[in-house]
């Protein structure tokens, strides 16, 4: 078994890893909302006011920090006043982006805010810039967050909610370069400034306004948005400007958009191609951050990766507009690679939202439409194993003797990924072995503080395409890992082939 060394200075903490990089995304798409979160008040499935109880329980267990809603592409077709008031009086709408289905608006603003309160998660509301108006968005902010007897606050009370909600995150459109209006960036930069101006802080509620940002490597989009904010370097104490963050979207797949590959039936070459494409996230964060640094050296403006994850061909026999896919060990390691990148860029990345939470794309949870059974996916378990990174300080991990593999069309793929963090007297080290066949030993060269105890967990499976189903819910599930030993430099950790391991350290 070959050996890699990971040098970690436990006494040199870096930027804080915001818990919000472990955020989630729930769009009106397929069975994410209807059949996922929302079963209705007449359902036989256990629920609280129509919100599915076991989904809430599972997400609370991984300390979900925020939830983005209502989209996605759906957001720029959504008019929020259609989703308030008595449900039987709400107008219907066509979900033209996702399956061309008719929705009854049963799940709207009050239901979403109720969901966030049940989850203990901060709401991230995406406003409609594509087909909406400045007034519509401004009144939604007022409806949600104003406490006095203003017109929108009065309307909220008439609909049953006395006190305003706290809404810290506000999205200014979505994918404005595509489904959010097919705009040129110069057009959108002006709109983002305008809409942000009217998304007003009400009372004690303070908004982080997030402008719809680039897809993939469109650095010109980021450059133009940042330039529109003016001279952010002049006064380090001055506020960022009309908006406080810009977003980035990037999806991982093994093939082209026209044939993204199967979620479960893939070759070893497709595995490695997928991992190489997942590693691109680190490059994107580096380059978009460099663009932002030129205009914002004091890092007042955050980078929000509010859509990321794997995107495969839909499962056979399912509606192609519903984007339902299985979730395997491969997806779990794609998640671990992304999270390592977010940790490494904690000084700029303030939030991230995996797409999506239930039954869509790289979901945390799958629900069976026939039996109602709930399945926790391998990706869910990566998030569970990483809760210790929430709001901890990032530690730089210096890797030595990392094996690589050539991947056609990409740079050589490093086969070990790692990150670490420290909080008070505990540290957490995350290690991924991307090699499909070979196990590896990692020596943790731990410096600066004494390690007085440790525990470890491992996530792996017998096959690369292993996944969980209602019949076998723990085919891919974490277990205690005995393959950790004392070493002259700290600890020695065995990484099985295609595995994810976390080591929690007790510090003296």
Give the tens place of pLDDT for each residue, 2-43: 799 999 999 999 999 999 999 999 999 999 999 999 999 999
Among 340, 358, 390, which residue terminates a domain? 390
Q: Which residue of the set 41, 270, 307, 315 is catalytic?
A: 307
Q: Which long-range contacts (CB under 8 A, 24 or more apart) does 405-411 make?
A: 405/272, 405/435, 407/272, 407/273, 407/275, 407/276, 408/269, 408/273, 409/273, 410/273, 410/276, 410/277, 411/276
Does one domain contain both 364 and 406? no
Whether residue 296 is found in the same domain as residue 407: no
The answer as to whether 38 is a domain residue is: yes
The 10 Å Cβ neighbour count of residue 484 is: 18
Contact 469, 368 (CB under 8 A): no
pLDDT, tens digit, 9 for 90 and up, residues 207-247: 999 999 999 999 999 999 999 998 887 788 888 889 999 99
Does 155 lie in the same domain as 172?
A: yes
Residue 77 lies in a domain: yes
Q: Are residues 102 and 176 in the same domain?
A: yes
Cβ neighbours, 10 Å, residue 297: 11
Instruction: Please indicate, yes or no, whether residues 300 and 164 belong to a single structural domain of this protein.
Output: yes
What is the rounded average pLDDT for all residues in the chain?
97
In a domain, 218, yes or no: yes
Number of CB atoms found within 10 A of residue 441's CB: 16
Domain total for the chain? 2
Whether residues 332 and 412 share a domain: the answer is no
Instruction: For residue 14, tell me if it sits in a domain.
Output: no
Neighbours of 469 (CB within 10 A): 12
Active-site residue (options: 139, 175, 270, 283): 175
CATH number of the domain within which 132 lies: 3.20.20.80
pLDDT higher than 90, residue 341: yes
What pLDDT score does 1 carry? Answer: 63
Q: Which domain holds residue 23?
A: 19-390
Q: Is residue 348 located within the same domain as residue 403?
A: no
Task: Dump strand ranges (E) for 332-476.
Answer: 349-355, 365-367, 374-376, 393-395, 397-400, 404-405, 413-414, 416-423, 426-433, 440-447, 451-459
Q: What pLDDT is attached to residue 235?
A: 81
Average pLDDT over residues 459-470: 97
CA 479 to each of CA 279, 439, 456, 502: distance values in angstroms, whole numbers, following the listed order: 26, 17, 9, 11
Same domain as 433, residue 344:
no
136 catalytic residue (yes or no): no
Q: Is 27 one of the catalytic residues? A: no
Q: Can you state the angle between helices 151-158 and 134-145, rounded to 10 degrees?
A: 60
- Is 436 in the same domain as 297? no
Segment holding 169, helix H or strand E: strand 169-172
* Residue 326 resides in a domain: yes
Cα angle for residues 374, 337, 357 (degrees, 5° grid): 25
Residues 381 and 401 in one domain: no
């Amino acid at each position: 078994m070959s050996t890699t060394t990971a040098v970690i200075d436990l006494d040199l903490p870096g930027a804080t890893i915001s818990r919000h990089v472990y955020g989630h995304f729930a769009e009106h798409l397929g069975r994410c909302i209807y059949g996922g979160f929302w079963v209705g008040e007449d359902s036989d499935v256990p629920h609280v006011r129509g919100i599915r109880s076991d989904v809430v329980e599972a997400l609370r267990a991984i300390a979900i920090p925020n939830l983005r809603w209502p989209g996605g592409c759906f957001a720029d077709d959504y008019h929020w006043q259609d989703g308030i008031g008595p449900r039987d009086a709400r107008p219907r709408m066509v979900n033209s982006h996702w399956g061309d289905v008719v929705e009854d608006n049963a799940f709207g603003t009050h239901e979403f805010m109720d969901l966030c309160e049940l989850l203990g998660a901060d709401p991230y509301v995406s406003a409609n810039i594509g087909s909406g108006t400045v007034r519509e968005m401004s009144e939604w902010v007022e409806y949600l967050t104003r406490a006095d007897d203003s017109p929108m606050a009065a309307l909220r009370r008439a609909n049953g909610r006395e006190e305003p909600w706290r809404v810290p995150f506000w999205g200014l459109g979505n994918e404005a370069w595509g489904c959010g209006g097919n705009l040129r960036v110069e057009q959108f930069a002006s709109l983002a400034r305008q809409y942000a101006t009217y998304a007003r802080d009400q009372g004690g509620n303070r908004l982080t306004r997030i402008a719809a940002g680039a897809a993939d490597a469109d650095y010109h989009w980021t450059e133009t948005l940042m330039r529109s904010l003016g001279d952010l370097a002049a006064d380090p104490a001055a506020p960022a400007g009309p908006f406080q963050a810009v977003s980035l979207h990037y999806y991982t797949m093994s093939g082209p958009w026209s044939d993204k590959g199967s979620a479960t039936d893939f070759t070893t070459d497709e595995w490695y191609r997928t991992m190489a494409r997942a590693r691109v996230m680190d490059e994107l964060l580096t380059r978009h951050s460099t663009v932002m640094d030129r205009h914002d050296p004091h890092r007042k403006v955050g980078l929000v990766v509010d859509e990321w994850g794997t995107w495969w061909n839909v499962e056979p026999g399912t509606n192609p507009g519903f984007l339902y896919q299985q979730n395997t060990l491969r997806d779990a390691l794609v998640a671990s690679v992304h999270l390592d990148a977010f940790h490494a860029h904690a000084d700029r990345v303030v939030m991230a939202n995996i797409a999506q939470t239930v039954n869509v794309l790289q979901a945390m949870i799958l629900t069976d439409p026939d039996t109602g059974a709930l399945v926790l996916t391998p990706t869910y378990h990566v998030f569970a194993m990483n809760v210790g990174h929430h709001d901890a300080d990032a530690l730089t991990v210096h890797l030595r003797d990392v094996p690589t593999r050539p991947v056609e069309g990409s740079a050589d793929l490093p086969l070990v990924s790692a990150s670490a963090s420290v909080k008070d007297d505990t540290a957490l080290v995350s290690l991924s072995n991307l090699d499909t066949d070979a196990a590896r030993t990692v020596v943790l060269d731990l410096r600066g503080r004494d390690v007085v105890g440790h525990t470890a967990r491992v996530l792996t499976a017998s096959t690369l395409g292993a996944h969980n189903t209602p019949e076998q819910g723990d085919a891919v599930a974490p277990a205690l890992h005995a393959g950790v030993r004392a070493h002259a430099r700290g600890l020695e950790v065995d990484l099985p082939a295609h595995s994810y391991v976390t080591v929690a350290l007790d510090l003296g």
